[in-house]
């Protein structure tokens, strides 16, 4: 499988190779005709070949007195035990090569087209790799700088930008903003319930918007402004948690209304450019640009345009790691938010604590946080493990079946590479 990878520096953690040396022992029984019997080493060699992807040459060691430098010893049946000297060694993958191979075997081996992975240690990118093909119909290899759909990982991007506007005093977290957003998308008389929606409720999925799957994925609207208008004039429930793309599409419209600029321009100005990121964009459902992966897409759909700030960004895995680490105040570099704002993002929107959903973040407890993303032919996940390690994996394809399964896949890849993080 074509692949590209780069490792920026030596990982500043203890790397332990979990794969020990293989010793394949057998002997060759040679009779007068010099026919050689297959021994246990042959089966072992086949296992090595399957694991490494390369033909293996078994190391065969004679038993008994027939050691190196000693004369052949006759066996009881007249055959001669003769040591066989290996002609080649078996390559054993360790470190990042084994890490990448593990992800390749699970994700591409499961039928997906391509994957991108990035790992940061203490805020510094130490490894990036891309494996697979640029498009479903192409044999051209994907490159490490190619951008993938990130789906709902767009939500942390939108949330950070909104929190910057809150810090700058352009809007309050508990300010009712439904009416001004409605006006921005052409709705003159929103309901009282729609008008009362606050920024905090949108960020934490407690606005009362239903999931609205048909709005975004059944071609009922042609872009996010029309989706927002549909949401603000539709049925709105209570203030309990209900994850909905509508909240973050509407937040994208709020960003435009507050700044007088396009959503994408504001995100670049306030977040991406200061982080040194370029090349990300709000991509359409079709027609990927240069250095963008083509995800399989059913004809006649327009969900990327409809999602807007809820799910339309494309990026590299390295970009996503950099963005998430920007709200880890223990790491070096420019930070978009102050400590109080970061703390609010990392607290559950339904009762506090560090489990559930914060502001644009999935919270897994013990300070672990990130987000997943799922669209057609798209699975993505980014995770700050709260131990100095942040990683992201972006997939074009249908494997894994659930984006959250990427977490256990990455854990197995770290184990395959022999990485121990202290």
| b/e code 47-73 from CB counts within 10 Å (16+ = b) | ebeebeeeebbbbbbbeeebeeeeeee
More confident residue, 32 or 188: 188
**Same domain flag for 137 and 176:** no
**Cα 185 from Cα 221, distance rounded (Å):** 13
Query: What does the pLDDT look like over 72-130, one tens digit per residue?
Result: 444 444 444 455 555 556 678 999 999 999 999 999 999 999 999 999 999 999 999 99
Provide the pLDDT for residue 135. Answer: 96
The token duo for 362 is 């999935």
Residue 200 inside a domain? The answer is: yes
- How many structural domains are present in the chain? 3
Q: What integer pLDDT is reported at residue 41 of this predicted model?
A: 33
Instruction: Establish if 15 belongs to a structural domain.
Output: no
Q: Is residue 414 predicted with pLDDT exceeding 70?
A: yes
One domain, residues 145 and 173: no
Q: Phi and psi at residue 259, in whole multiples of 5°? A: -105, -20
How many residues are recorded in the chain? 422
Same domain, 291 and 390: yes
Rounded Cα–Cα distance for residues 95 and 88 (Å): 22
Structure tokens at 127: 């490894």
Would you state the pLDDT for residue 295?
A: 98
Same domain, 108 and 174: no
Residue 10 has pLDDT above 90, yes or no: no
191-206: average pLDDT: 97
**DSSP count for the chain of H helices, then E strands:** 14, 16
Instruction: Please tell me the predicted confidence (pLDDT) of residue 92.
Output: 84
Query: Which pLDDT score, from 0 to 100, does residue 318 have?
Result: 98
Are residues 140 and 163 located together in one domain of the fold?
A: no
Residues 299 and 401 reside in one and the same domain: yes
Is the per-residue pLDDT at 21 higher than 70? Answer: no
Q: pLDDT at position 15, please?
A: 38
Do 149 and 213 lie in a common domain? no
Token couple for 289: 């640009």
pLDDT confidence band for 238 (50 / 70 / 90) = confident
302 and 231 co-located in one domain: no
Look at residue 352 in the predicted model and tell me its pLDDT.
79
Percent pLDDT > 90 in the chain is: 75
- The vertex-149 CA angle with 145 and 155, nearest 5°, equals 115
Banded model confidence at residue 237, pLDDT cuts 50, 70, 90: very high
Taking Cα atoms as reference points, which of 249, 235, 263 lies closest to residue 311?
Answer: 249
Residue 311 in tokens: 């799910």
Q: Classify residue 167 as left (phi > 0), alpha (psi -120 to 50) or beta.
A: alpha
Residue 186 has pLDDT above 70, yes or no: yes
Structural domain that includes position 173 = 157-259
* Same domain for 300 and 410: yes
In this prediction, residue 297 carries a pLDDT of 96
Please determine, for residue 162, whether its predicted confidence score (pLDDT) is greater than 60: yes
Backbone phi, psi, residue 267, to 5°: -60, -40
- Are 132 and 247 contained in the same domain? no
pLDDT at residue number 33 = 33
Percentage, residues of the chain above pLDDT 70: 79
CATH number of domain containing 111: 3.40.710.10
Q: Give me the chain's average pLDDT, please.
A: 84
In this structure, the answer to whether residues 219 and 317 fall within a common structural domain is no
Asked whether the predicted pLDDT for residue 67 surpasses 80, the reply is: no
Whether residue 295 sits in one domain with residue 148 = yes
Q: In this structure, is residue 10 part of a structural domain?
A: no
Find the mean pLDDT for residues 160-180: 98
pLDDT score at 403 = 98
| Boundary residue ending a domain (243, 259, 275) | 259
Measured between alpha carbons, how far is residue 206 from residues 128, 244, 245, 289, 336 in Å? 36, 9, 12, 35, 25
275 assigned to some structural domain: no
Q: Given this model, what pLDDT does residue 339 score? A: 98
Contact 6, 414 (CB under 8 A): no
Q: In this predicted structure, what is the pLDDT of residue 12?
A: 36
Q: Mind listing the pLDDT tens digit for each residue in 125-144? A: 999 999 999 999 999 999 99
What pTM was computed for the model?
0.81
* 375 within domain boundaries: yes
Average pLDDT over residues 341-361: 94
Bridge partners, 363 (sequence order): 356, 369
Please state whether the peptide bond connecting residue 173 to the residue before it is cis, i.e. omega within 30 degrees of 0. Answer: no
DSSP state of 191: -
């Amino acid at each position: 499988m074509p692949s590209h990878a780069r490792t920026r520096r030596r990982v500043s953690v203890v790397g332990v190779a979990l794969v020990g040396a293989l010793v394949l022992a057998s002997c060759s029984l040679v009779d007068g005709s010099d026919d050689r019997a297959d021994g246990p080493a042959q089966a072992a060699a086949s296992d090595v070949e399957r694991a490494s992807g390369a033909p293996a040459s078994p190391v065969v060691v004679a038993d008994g007195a027939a050691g190196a430098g000693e004369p052949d010893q006759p066996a009881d049946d007249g055959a001669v035990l003769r040591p066989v000297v290996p002609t080649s060694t078996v390559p054993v993958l360790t470190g990042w090569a084994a890490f990448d191979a593990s992800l390749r075997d699970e994700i591409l081996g499961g039928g997906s087209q391509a994957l991108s992975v990035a790992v940061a240690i203490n805020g510094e990118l130490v490894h990036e790799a891309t494996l697979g093909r640029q498009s479903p119909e192409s044999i051209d290899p994907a490159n490490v700088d190619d951008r993938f759909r990130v789906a709902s990982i767009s939500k942390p991007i939108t949330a950070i930008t909104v929190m910057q506007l809150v810090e700058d005093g352009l809007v309050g977290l508990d300010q009712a903003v439904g009416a001004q957003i409605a006006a921005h998308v052409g709705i003159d008389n929103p309901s009282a319930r729609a008008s009362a929606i606050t920024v905090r409720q949108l960020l934490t999925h407690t606005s009362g918007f239903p999931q609205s799957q048909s709005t975004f994925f059944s071609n009922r609207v042609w872009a996010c402004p029309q989706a927002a208008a549909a949401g603000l004039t539709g049925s709105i429930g209570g203030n309990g948690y209900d994850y909905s793309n509508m909240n973050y599409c509407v937040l994208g419209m709020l960003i435009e209304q507050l700044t007088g600029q396009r959503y994408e321009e504001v995100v670049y100005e306030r977040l991406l450019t200061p982080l040194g990121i370029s090349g990300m964009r709000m991509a359409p459902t079709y027609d990927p640009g240069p250095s963008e992966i083509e995800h399989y897409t059913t004809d006649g759909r327009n969900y990327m345009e409809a999602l807007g700030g809820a799910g339309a960004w494309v990026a590299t895995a390295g970009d996503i790691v950099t963005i998430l680490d920007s709200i880890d105040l223990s790491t070096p570099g420019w930070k978009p938010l102050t400590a109080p704002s970061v703390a609010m993002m990392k607290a559950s929107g339904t009762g506090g604590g560090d489990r559930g959903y914060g502001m644009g973040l999935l919270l897994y407890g013990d300070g672990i946080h990130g987000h997943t993303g799922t669209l057609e032919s798209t699975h993505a996940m980014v995770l700050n493990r709260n131990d100095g390690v942040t990683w992201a994996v972006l997939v074009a394809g249908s494997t894994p079946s659930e984006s959250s399964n990427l977490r256990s896949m990455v854990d197995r890849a770290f184990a395959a590479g022999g990485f121990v993080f202290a």
